[in-house]
Chains A and B, each alone.
Chain A
Amino acid sequence: MNYFEVFQLPRRLVIDGDELQRRFYALARRTHPDFHQAAPPAERAAVEERAALVNAAYRTLRDPIARADYLVRLEEGRATREGAAARPKAPPALLAEMFEIQEALAEAKAAPLDHAARATLVEQRDRLLDRCAGEERRLRGPLAERWDAASEAERPAALSALKEALAARAYLRTVITDLAEALGEEESGVAHHRH
C-alpha cells in the first residue's frame, strides 16, 4: 500500500493540510497500538507495522516537498525507502555559478576566513537560500498544479520538471550546508527537520 492509498487519496500533489490531518487522526484512532492492547502477541507485530505505515505516510505527505519527492520515486517505481540519496549533482543551469562558489569554499578551507572572504561567503549563502526558497515555492505551487492537471500524455514532462526542481533544491541545500560549515555556523537554516 503506498502512502496516497493509506489516506485514500489520488496521486496528486495539492493536498489540503487540514483535511490530511483530519484523516490522519481518524486513521490513528483505528490503528494505534493503544487501542489494540488485547490483541494476541502474534497480531501485535502487525498492529505496530500498520501504525508505523500510517505515521510514515503522514510524515511524508504533510510536507509538500517530501510529498513531491515521494511521488517522483513512486512514479519511477523506487519508493521503497526514504532518504539516503547519493550526493546530488549540480543542475546544468547552476554550473557556472557553483564553480565560483566551490572555489571560494576551497579557499575558505585552505586558510582562515578574513573579513572580506567571510562577507562573500555570507552573500553567496544568502543568495542560494533565496534560490532554494524559490525552488520550493515552484514545487509547492506551479509544478504541483501542473502535475495534478496533467493528462496521461503530459505526465512524463510534468514529472521531469518536478524531478529537476527537486534535484536543484537538494543540490542547493548541500552547498548551503557546506557554506554554513565554512562559516562556522552550526545550523544552516535549511537543516530544518521538517523541510
Chain B
Amino acid sequence: MSRIIGIDLGTTNSLVAYVDEASGLPRVIPDAEGRRLLPSIVAFTPDGLIVGEGARRQLARRSADTVYSVKRLMGRDYEDIKGELPYLPFQVVPAEGTVKLRVGGREITPPEVSAAVLKALKERAERHFGEPVDKAVITVPAYFNDAQRQATRDAGRIAGLDVVRIVNEPTAASLAYGLQRLEAGVIAVYDLGGGTFDVSILRVKDGVFEVLATNGDTHLGGDDFDRVLLLWLLEDIQSRHHAELARDCVELARDPELMQELRLAAEAAKIRLSAEERTTLTLPLPGFTYRRDLTRTEIERLLEPLVGRTLGPCRRALADAGLSAADIEQVVLVGGSTRVPLVRRRVQELFGRPPHSQLNPDEVVALGAAVQAQILAGGITDMLLLDVTPLSLGIESLGGIVNVLIPRNTTVPTSAREMFTTSVDGQTLVDLHVVQGERELVKDCRSLGRFELRIDPMPAGMPKIEVTFLIDANGILQVQAQEQRTGKAAAIEVKPTYGLSETDIERMIEESFTYAEADVETRMLIEARNEADTVLTHAGRALRQGAELVTPAERASIETAVAGLRAARDSDDRDRIHEATTAVNRATEHLAEVMMDAALKGALGSKRATEILKEPE
C-alpha cells in the first residue's frame, strides 16, 4: 500500500502529519519556514490564490476576498447559515444543494475553498517526501452529518486526493494518545475547536478503541467566543467614544475592514487572557485610540453561556453510553479553545476530575489521523478503531414521521434492511426520503436525499423491494435496492438534498488543475506583493493620523520609502519588493513608537481611564 497522509482540516488551522517509520511515532510536517499550522484561510487576489499565513495577513485589508472558517459552511445550505452571514465579510449566496461564495470576481463552493487548503497541505507533504502523495485520511467533527462528511470528501477529491477514510476528530485524538500508551480504560474526549464541538466516550482496551457514544454541536467553537467578544467590544467602543464616533460620523459595524480588525483584536485578547489575568486592548481607530483594561473575569462572564452549551452534549453522550460521570477514568482535552481556563474548570466540574492535554491540543488530531492512515496502509496492525454514527438515520413514513432504521451511536459499519412495495397497479417508481436527526418529525431532521427506485410494472403490493441502508466506516450512507421476486437490482436515482453532483465535482477537479497556482516562485512573489500592500496600508494610515508627531524631515523620508515601495510593488523582482518593504518598515518604526506613546498618554490622562482603573472586577 502506498503512503497515506493524515490531515486535520480545521476551522481555524489545518495540519498534515505522517507516521515516521523509524520511530513509529506520528509527526507533523512543517512548511519550508518551519511553521506547523496552516491557517485555514484562502485569499482570492487578482494575482491568484494565497493560502495560509499569507492569506491571514491580509484578512483585514482584503476582507471581502479572503475566506476563513469555511468549515462552518461545509455541507450546509443557505437556510442553515443565514444567521451567520452578518458576521462574514465575504459574500455568500444560495445555490442548489449548497452555498456559493462570491470572492475575487468568481463564485466558488465551500468544498473548493477547502480543496485549496488541502492542496497546500498535499504540496507540503510532497516537498517533505520528495515524491507525489495522493492518498489521505481527513478528520471531521464527530457530529458532522452525512452531507458535511460528503462535502469534506469532495474537497479532497477536488484537491487531487483519494480520501481513503474520513475519521472523527475526537477519536483520532484518542488514537494519538493510545499509540503512546497514554490512555486506557474509559475516557472522555472533549474537543472544542475553532468552529465545532464534539464529545466522545471511548473504551480503550487491548488496542481496540471502541467509541461508546458521541455528541456535539457543529456550530460552536472559538469563532463564537470571538463573536461574543466582538459584539461586546463594539458596544464598549460606542458607549465610551460616542462623541468621537458622532463627530467623525464613523459607523463601526458598516466597515468590514474595521470589523475584521476588531475581530482579530478580540481573538488576540481572548488568547492573552488564557495565560494572564488581565490585558490591555489598544486599538487605533479613525480619529481616536480606544484603550481599555480587560480582565479574565470580565470575559468569562461573556463566555459562560457558550461554555455552558457544551455541557448538555456531554451529559447526553454519558447517558447514551450508559455511564455516569464517575465512570470516566480520564478526560482528555482537544482543540485550541480548551486553552480557555473557564472551559477547563467547567469540564472538571462536570466529570469530577481534572482534564489533561499532554499532547498539544492543536496537533493531536492530525497525529491521530496519521495513526489511522498508518493502520489503513497496513503499517500498524495491533490497533483498531471502532467508531459510531453520531446521528440516527431514518426514512420518512406516513404523516411526516421519521421511522428510525439506524439509531445514533451504532457502531459503523452498520446496515439496516427494509422492505418496500407499491400501492398502485403498474407503479414503477418508489420514492424514499432519507433523513438524519433525533427528532420525531421529518421537518425537524436533516434531509439527506431522496432515493427513487425504478421497478417493472406489477400489480399493487406485488413487488418486494429490499432496500439496504449501509453506513460505512466513514459514517457515509450507501443505499442499495433489490427486487426480491426478480432478484434484479433496482435502479436507484439519488437526489441529494445537499452537496455537489458528480458532474460538479468533475468540473471542479478539472478547473482546479487549470487554476493550479503556477510554481512556488510565483506564489512567493504574490505573497511578497501582499505583504507590501499591508505595509503600505499601515504606513498610509500612520502618516494620516500621526503626521504632526514627527519632524518634516522624517515625514519626507517615510514618503520617499513609501514611493519606493509603490514602484517596486508591481515588479517581478521578489527581492526588490522585500527590500522596499523593509525600508518602509524601518522608516515608520519611530513614528509608530511615538504614536503608541501618544495613545498611552492620552488614554491615561483622560478621565475615562481613571474610571477604568476604579472599576470593580
Q: Do A and B bind each other?
A: yes
* Chain A interfacial positions (CB closer than 8 Å to B): 21, 25, 28-29, 32-35, 37-38, 48-49, 51-53, 55-56, 58-59, 80-81, 83-84, 187, 192-194
Cβ 8 A contact of A193, one of B319, B384, B412: B319
Given contacts A37-B376, A81-B416, 5 further A-B contacts (CB under 8 A): A21-B205, A35-B384, A37-B1, A55-B411, A81-B417
List 26 A–B pairs whose Cβ atoms lie within 8 Å, in order of A's numbering: A25-B208, A25-B384, A28-B384, A29-B208, A32-B384, A33-B413, A34-B385, A35-B381, A37-B1, A37-B164, A48-B413, A48-B415, A49-B413, A49-B470, A51-B473, A52-B413, A52-B470, A53-B415, A55-B413, A58-B411, A59-B411, A81-B416, A187-B319, A193-B213, A193-B319, A193-B407
B378 within 8 A of A: yes
In the bound assembly, the distance between CA atoms of A194 and B213 in angstroms comes to 10
Complex CA–CA separation, A52 to B470 (angstroms): 8
Q: Are B378 and A48 in contact (CB under 8 A)?
A: no
Question: B412: which A residues are within 8 A, CB to CB?
Answer: 55
CB-CB contacts below 8 Å: B341-399 with A? 375-378, 381, 384-386
Residue ID in chain B nearest A37 by CB atoms: B376
| CB-CB under 8 A for A33 and B408, given A28-B386, A84-B403 | no
Question: How many inter-chain residue pairs (CB < 8 Å) link A and B?
Answer: 77
Q: What is the chain B residue whose CB lies nearest that of A195?
A: B322
A52-B413, A55-B414, A192-B319 in contact; A34/B208 too (CB < 8 A)? Answer: no
Contact of A37 among B208, B378, B385 (CB under 8 A): B378
Cα distance, A123 to B524, chains bound together (Å): 73
CA A185 – CA B581 in complex, angstroms?
65
The 6 nearest A-B residue pairs measured at CB: A52-B415, A55-B411, A194-B322, A193-B320, A52-B413, A48-B413
| Residues of chain B within 8 A of A193, CB atoms compared | 213, 319-320, 322, 407-409
Closest residue on chain A to residue B408 by CB atoms = A193
With both beta carbons as reference points, the residue of chain B lying nearest to A31 in the complex is identified as B413
Q: Are A80 and B417 in contact (CB under 8 A)?
A: yes
**Considering the chains assembled together, what is the distance between the CA atoms of A37 and B137 in angstroms?**
13
Q: Report the interface size for chain B: residues with CB under 8 A from the other chain.
A: 37
Tell me if B404 is interfacial: C-beta within 8 Å of chain A: yes
* Residue B410 interfacial (CB < 8 Å): yes
* Residues in A neighbouring B386, C-beta threshold 8 A: 28, 32, 55
Q: In the bound complex, how far is the Cα of B210 from the Cα of A191, in angstroms? A: 23
Tell yes or no: B573 within 8 A of A by CB.
Answer: no
How far, in angstroms, from A84 to B407 measured CA to CA in the complex? Answer: 12
Contact A34 B473 (CB under 8 A): yes
Residues of B within 8 A of A29 (CB): 208, 384
A77 CB to closest chain B CB (Å) equals: 16
Chain B proximity of A190: nearest CB distance (Å):
11
**Least Cβ distance of A38 to chain B in Å?**
6
Q: Min CB distance, B542 to chain A, in Å? A: 57
Residue pair A56, B206 in contact (C-beta under 8 Å): no
Cα A52 to Cα B471 in complex, Å, equals 9
CA distance A35 to B208 in the complex (A): 13
B554 within 8 Å of A (CB atoms): no
Q: A49-B415, A51-B413 are in contact. Are A194 and B320 (CB under 8 A)?
A: yes
B472 interface contact, C-beta 8 A: yes
Specify which chain A residues have a CB less than 8 angstroms from the CB of B208 in the assembled complex: 25, 28-29
Tell whether, in the assembled complex, residue A56 and residue B408 are in contact, meaning their CB atoms are under 8 Å apart: no
Q: Are A25 and B206 in contact (CB under 8 A)?
A: yes
A52 to B405, CA, bound (A): 14
On chain B, the residues within 8 Å of A37 by CB distance are 1, 164, 376-378
Measured in the bound complex, the distance between the Cα atoms of B418 and A32 in whole Å is 24
* Contact (Cβ within 8 A) B384 A56: no
Residues of B within 8 A of A25 (CB): 205-206, 208, 210, 384
Min CB gap A128→B, angstroms = 20
Which residue of chain A lies nearest to B418 when distances are taken between CB atoms in the complex? A81
CA–CA, A12 to B96, complex, Å? 53
Q: How far is the CA of A38 from the CA of B2 in the complex (A)?
A: 11
Q: How far is the CA of A29 from the CA of B384 in the complex (A)?
A: 7
Nearest CB of chain B from residue A133's CB, rounded to whole Å: 15
Minimum CB distance partner of A191 in chain B: B319
Q: Is the CB of A33 within 8 A of B407?
A: no
- The minimal Cβ–Cβ distance linking A119 to chain B, given in whole angstroms, is 26
Look across to chain B and name the residue whose beta carbon is closest to the beta carbon of A83. Answer: B404
Query: Which B residues are CB-close (under 8 A) to A38?
Result: 1, 378
Q: Contact at A33–B473, with CB atoms within 8 Å?
A: yes
For B164, B206, B404, which residue has the most chain A Cβ atoms within 10 angstroms? B206
**A48 with B376, Cβ < 8 A, contacts A25-B205, A81-B418, A192-B322 known:** no
